[in-house]
Amino acid sequence: MCGICGFTGYRQDQKTVIERMMKAIEHRGPDSEGSFCREKITLGFRRLSIIDLEDGQQPMESADGNLHIVFNGEIYDYKELRAELEAFGISFCTHSDTEVLINTIQQYGEKALDKLRGMFGFAVWNEQAQSLMLARDFFGIKPVYYAEIDGHFVFASEIKSILAFPGYERKVNQKALEQYLSFQYSPLEETFFRGIYKLMPGHMLLYKNGNYEIKTYFKTKLAPGQWDRKTNMEQLRNQLAENLKDSVEHHMLSDVEVGAFLSGGVDSGYLASSSGADQAFTVGFDEGDRYSEVNKAAKVAEKAGLKHHVKIISKQEFWDALPDVMYHMDEPLADASAVALYFLSKEAAGHVKVVLSGEGADELFGGYNIYREPESLKKIDWIPFGVRRVIGKLAAKLPDVKGRDFLIRAGMKVEERFIGNAYIYREKEKAQILKNKVTGPSTQEYLRPFFEELESENRGSLQDMEKMQSVDLSYWLPGDILQKADKMSMAHSLEVRVPFLDKEVFDFAAKLPKEAKIAAGTTKYIFRKAVSEFLPQETDERRKLGFPIPIRVWLRQDDWYQMVKELFTSKEAEEFFHTEELLQLLKDHKEKKADNSRKIWTVLSFLIWYDKFFVSYSK
């Protein structure tokens, strides 16, 4: 794992500028640095040594000397690719996956991306063509950002590296804020920093002569087969077990020790138990069993014979870490579990350089409880949809009583009611709290082209649950889950590997019918069957909990209430929000009139981010 950066065009101070950009992402690679400066290109690199510790220095060139690469990530099939390239007569100077990657690109060009199995964000300069290629992996595990500044095309693994480039003027992207308030992250290509963009998952960017084009090379497209009664469930289970085993083995390739994150759940439990890792890492809170999975994780660790490291996070240190968390996130993220992941990564980094983590299993195998909603709504399918819509609109005017939300959602199509695992502020609520008029599309308008493409590509064959999965794979997974995994681990120079987000595993999961995911009153049905032998029975049968964080409790306590109140009445809050509306949300939550914790946390996270990148910076 590493950090990359660079820019096109000549500058007299290009060495000074690239050193400043590299310094901004030093945490991504504290082991060494390297740069490559030519008249029309400058490349920078910070290294965290994982494979070929002695000789894997970057930037690196291809065997013919034409291509120059900076690469962040891991190529897990590099040994197979190396053998393939050697058959073509290409010789190697190192044992690194970087050298295999650059020569695979030399041999196959853009088609090289189809051969890769791994996580990556890289930049390749073609000296002969005087062109630059950027690429981001299939699922968005590794980030890539870019901008055009004063005639230079600038790119980096993190936004803060681009901010170090001379001439960029910091401005908040209001449209990103609007979408963030609903999604709890911004799904837009243009980031919260106006004029700085993220390269989306499964995309490449080709730059030449001052112009660039972006191409899609991979889509997380579901293609579920019809339920074939001839396909024995046992066959599916065995095939999945083999695919998972193969992926884990590839993800354990390393010249340093690999540990594992461990919650009390199925995903991380399987990885920690099956991988052969020696050490596992867990965090929790001293707020009762509801907010701590330490005891459940300990049972998994005991069964697997793992050395188990535990960090209990206090309320005060959680609060104190928020500015640093938002700094490393680059953009606001209103997922409070990012803070827990920050402490988990810090704990693990004290013992290992690499860990396995369970991201992606829920999106691939149908693990979220919300995916069961279409089944529950089928109970009232006999009521004509037009009647249900009228009932839903009437229910929306009722007080927040049990059953109200069910009636509201029953009167909406999945395209209207589902935007991902989080839906914080509805459109009317956003308009109420925002000082400036909403100028961007509603969340439904933003996602409409995506749903229309889904419908067109699949000829209406996807079920509602599969449409929900598709939204999460394309937006929630890269925008929330993987963004926090990369940024929080890299804050502590720790590499996180995610074996479930393997191309081979995805190809299998994409074909699974709904009945293999939601069945027998549970989620991830076939996945649970495939991994059950590695887990205590109670872990295998556990309902999906997520990462429980006690912000609901803490925001009702006087110390946090007062600190948040100060932020909500600050000059910065008044710049973006109607502060009287924020205070009402806070007051209603403290008095237990409503659970506004996620709404409060969403605004709070934005304000802390804004202070870090704009207020404190200007001072």
Q: Are 97 and 51 in contact (CB under 8 A)?
A: yes
Give the whole-angstrom CA distance, residue 549 versus residue 600.
14
Please name which of 248, 481, 507 lies closest in space to residue 368, comparing C-alpha atoms.
481
Tokens of 170: 């910091």
Catalytic residues: 5
Q: Are 233 and 526 in contact (CB under 8 A)?
A: yes
Question: How is 495-562 classified by DSSP, letter by letter?
Answer: EEE-TTS-HHHHHHHTT--GGGTSBTTBSSHHHHHHHGGGS-HHHHTPPP-----THHHHTTSHHHHH
CA separation, residue 297 to residues 2, 270, 278, 613 (Å): 30, 11, 15, 37
3-state helix, strand, coil in the chain (%, to 5): 50, 15, 35
Q: Are 338 and 329 in contact (CB under 8 A)?
A: yes
**Cβ-Cβ contacts under 8 Å for 455 (sequence gap 6 or more):** 462
Q: Are 34 and 24 in contact (CB under 8 A)?
A: no
- 34, containing H or E segment: strand 32-37
Please name which of 178, 170, 110, 219 lies closest in space to residue 478, comparing C-alpha atoms.
219
Find where tokens 């599309």 sit: 441
Please name which of 280, 305, 420 lies closest in space to residue 358, comparing C-alpha atoms.
280
Q: How far is CA 474 from the centre of its chain?
A: 10
Residue 396 C-beta-side C-alpha neighbours within 13 Å: 13
Q: Are 486 and 157 in contact (CB under 8 A)?
A: no
Question: How is 282-306 classified by DSSP, letter by letter?
Answer: EEEESS-GGG--HHHHHHHHHHHT-
Residue 594 C-beta-side C-alpha neighbours within 13 Å: 12
Could you tell me whether strands 279-285 and 258-261 are parallel, antiparallel, or unpaired per DSSP bridges?
parallel
Find where tokens 């101070």 sit: 13
**Cβ-Cβ contacts under 8 Å for 174 (sequence gap 6 or more):** 436, 439, 440
Tokens of 310: 């535990």
E strand intervals along 137-227: 145-149, 152-156, 196-198, 203-208, 211-216
CB-based burial label for 362 (10 Å; 0-12, 13-18, 19+): buried
3-class state of residue 75 by DSSP: strand
CB-based burial label for 235 (10 Å; 0-12, 13-18, 19+): exposed
Residue type, 128: Q
